[in-house]
Amino acid sequence: MAAAQSLSNPSSTTSLISQSRNQSKPTSPPSFLKPHCLQSPWLGFKISFQPSKTTRYLPNHRPITATISLSLPTSKTDRVASAGKVPKWSRRAIKSFAMAELEARKLKYPTTGTESLLMGILIEGINLAAKFLRANGITLFKVRDETVKLLGKGDMFFFSPEHPPLTEDAQRALDWAVDEKLKSGGDGEITTTHLLLGIWSEVESPGHKILAALGFNDAKSKELTSMSSEPESVDG
């Protein structure tokens, strides 16, 4: 009976249709999802807060892998090509180079110098050059102390780049290591011994001065060279 009355009454039918339309409209988002603004006379500026967007989980996302590589100095490309073979750096030399960059960042230095290369060799620890240095009383802590004395401390608010660029003397030390390997020939790799002797060859570099202050000299350099030429002293 009531249904018949509502159908016979046009005004009631119109009100029912309008109610159903209002119910089908999307509701406004709750207040905590709306952007808000915070304005304070003490702050002197206005801060806007926007609701964060949700991101979809990617099940097939592959983890990022880091690869450490040490390229040959560009200035030696012609000589390497003429030699017929590209000398490779040993894995311990590559790790020493990576540790040198990290040490430069820890000390908040803007570049990777010969002093950082020296510390990188000692941090790697198990290579022939590091063992020889420790046997002669040259340790990482002593080198680090001498580095701070010579170059000072970095600014505590300075952020070093992810890969601090090489200084000119550090680049020349790497060039020397490559040249020495090319002169010696053979199928071996460029080792940390080549790297350490390259640092020693740069007389005006911080690395050379630190080594000299800790007792390293030309006689020890020749001794290390002779040790590295022995078959059992492989620096892998």
The ranges assigned to domains in the chain are 85-227
Task: Work out the percent of the chain whose per-residue pLDDT is above 90.
Answer: 49
The DSSP call for residue 32 is: G
Confidence of residue 111 (pLDDT cuts 50, 70, 90): very high
- The answer to whether the beta carbons of residues 192 and 130 sit under 8 Å apart is yes
The identity of residue 170, as a single letter, is A
Summarised one tens digit per residue, pLDDT across range 159-216 is: 778 889 999 999 999 999 999 998 887 778 899 999 999 999 999 999 999 999 999 9
Q: Which comes out higher in pLDDT, residue 120 or 4?
A: 120
Answer for the pair 197, 173: CB distance below 8 angstroms, yes or no: no
CA nearest neighbour of 213 among 132, 157, 143: 143
Measure the CA–CA gap between 122 and 173, rounded to whole angstroms: 17
pLDDT value at residue 18: 52
Burial class of residue 115 in the structure, from the number of CB atoms within 10 Å of its CB (0-12 exposed, 13-18 middle, 19+ buried): buried
- Determine the 3-state secondary structure of 112 from DSSP: strand
Q: What is residue 76's DSSP assignment?
A: G
The predicted model scores a pTM of 0.65
The confidence band for 50, taking pLDDT boundaries of 50, 70 and 90, is very low
φ and ψ at residue 150, rounded to 5 degrees: -80, -45
pLDDT at 160: 78
For a pLDDT cut of 70, what percent of the chain falls above it? Answer: 61
* H-helix or E-strand spanning residue 202: none
Question: What six digits make up the tokens of 62?
Answer: 């592959």
Any idea which fold 85-227 has? Answer: Double Clp-N motif (1.10.1780)
